[in-house]
Structure 1
Amino acid sequence: MTLNFLRGALALLLCGAVSAAAAAPSRVLIFSKTAGFRHESIPVAVAALQRLAAQQMMDADTSEDAGVFTAERLSRYGAVVFVSTTGDVLDDAQQRALQDFIEEGGGFVGVHAAADTEYDWPWYGRLVGAWFRNHPPGLQTTRVRFVQDGIAAQGREWQVTDEIYNYRDNPRGRVRVLATVQEADYAGGTMGADHPIAWCHESRRGRAWYTGLGHDAKLYADPVFLRHLARGLRYATRLSEDC
């Protein structure tokens, strides 16, 4: 067997492996089970996330069955997306499967009420970044200030009308804050001058990204919010290093 033959065979194998990897898109799980309050915007949110995933060349599965949280089934995914989940949605074995998935390199995206989930599970609290405390009544209008360029149409500031969460504590220092809201614009904010509303961080070998926005179904047609969500998907699935 000649050296040139071996080199050619190795090149073909490498080429095949690269082609297979390129042909196999990332896959995400969009999970929206609720055991408490259920947001009317969930179907709209799920559909928008499916479209965003497709635009990023990802496959997206949707489920409200916590039985998908096993090591074998989660191994199919690059990230899981919790869309306005509420309450205790995973049993002990399912929690263990999610924790192992993230700590072994998987990604997590939390949208809105993902912070109103699994209060009795300290690891999840660290993953999501901060738990929901309360919110002012109704929808409120405020300015969102992003730390990144390329999301808001002009500059880094965006005016939004949504349900604005107050959190049990300020996650700054544990996470990289990506956006804040201006409490001076509305009534009922309790976090003061520094009110984070979106953030990201690493969890062992995995990644987590969260936005507190997304209560109002209208937001899922807003190009600014969709760009915001797309960054979260790309970061969690490692298509981008920038969250």
Structure 2
Amino acid sequence: MRPLSTRLLQVLLLSALLLCGYAHSAAPPRVLVFTKTAGFRHDSIPTAVAALQRLGAQEGLKVDHTEDAADFNEKNLKRYRAVVFASTTGDVLDAAQQAAMESFVRAGGGYVGVHAAADTEYDWPWYGELVGAWFKGHPPGLQTTRVVFEHDGIPVGAAWTVTDEIYNYRSNPRTAVQVTATVDERDYQGGTMGADHPIAWCHSYDGGRAWYTGLGHEAKLYADPQFEAQLRRGLRYATRKSADC
């Protein structure tokens, strides 16, 4: 018979190994927030990152932040459940990094685009389809409009009055995505999309999930409960914590 101390030591070692395995399996899902800019840079980016980290923590997500495009490689992206492009602009990824992002989404990864994410990677057709629509322009300054939320094309809840930079897009994405919010061009000057002006949407794409909001220019908006709720839905949808965006 083995000495009691030896048996006890074995039990303790086995317990420690089991606890380590449980801790590893219970690690929170990770999200990568990417904010590299090769064009206009929004002053609200640090506020956006902080808000996404705060909301992510509330949702049980570990949110990392980077401006290093080299982080877009297959090995690193496997660590994440979703990637957020938060007011990125211009050409921010090279061909190899783009390929890694495509592989990530095709493996089921999620994408969240915030505001100028639509003003990004115009020479990458796959990305244009992922984000849903590319930026065309915006009226000068900030505009105040009503945001109308919808589900399956039917308005839901009360309209939300918001002051922000309101994007016009090169195309209306409605036929390719599920629109979740529109703005009313009758409220302001400079809208170019007419009676149907989507400002937020989601869709399944190439094996993964994509969610986008055109709002987020103003730093103050990230403390607005309505916008926080919108970003929360985006994170939940992209990370597959929710089936509905």
Whether 2:177 is the aligned partner of 1:179: answer: no
1:23 shift after superposition = 1.6
Match of 2:171 in 1: 169
The within-5 A match list for 1:88-107 is 88-107=91-110
**Following superposition, which runs of at least 4 residues in structure 1 exceed 2 angstroms of deviation?**
18-22
Amino acid in the other structure paired with 1:201: H
From the superposition, tell whether residues 36 and 173 of structure 1 become closer, same or farther in structure 2 (CA, over 3 Å). same
Match of 2:15 in 1: none
CA distance in 2, matches of 1:136, 1:164: 7
CA distance in 2, matches of 1:235, 1:34: 25
Which string of whole-angstrom CA distances, capped at 9 and with x for unpartnered residues, describes residues 64-98 of structure 1?
Answer: 00000000000000000000000000000000000
Match of 1:219 in 2: 221
Amino acid in the other structure paired with 1:46: V
Work out which of the residue numbers 61, 64, 68 in structure 1 matches 2:67.
64
Contact kept in structure 2, 1:162 and 1:213, CA below 8 Å = yes
The within-5 A match list for 1:31-110 is 31-110=34-113
User: Which entry has the higher C-alpha Rg, 1 or 2?
Assistant: 2
1:19 shift after superposition = 5.2
Unaligned runs of 5+ in 1: 1-14, 149-153
Contact kept in structure 2, 1:143 and 1:158, CA below 8 Å = yes
1:169 shift after superposition = 0.5
Count of equivalent residues? 224
CA distance in 1, matches of 2:119, 2:147: 21
Match of 2:138 in 1: 135
CA distance in 1, matches of 2:136, 2:149: 23
Secondary structure in 2 aligned to 1:147? strand
> TM-score, normalised on structure 2?
0.88
Secondary structure in 1 aligned to 2:174? coil
1:21 shift after superposition = 7.5
CA distance in 2, matches of 1:36, 1:67: 19
**RMSD of aligned C-alpha atoms?**
1.7
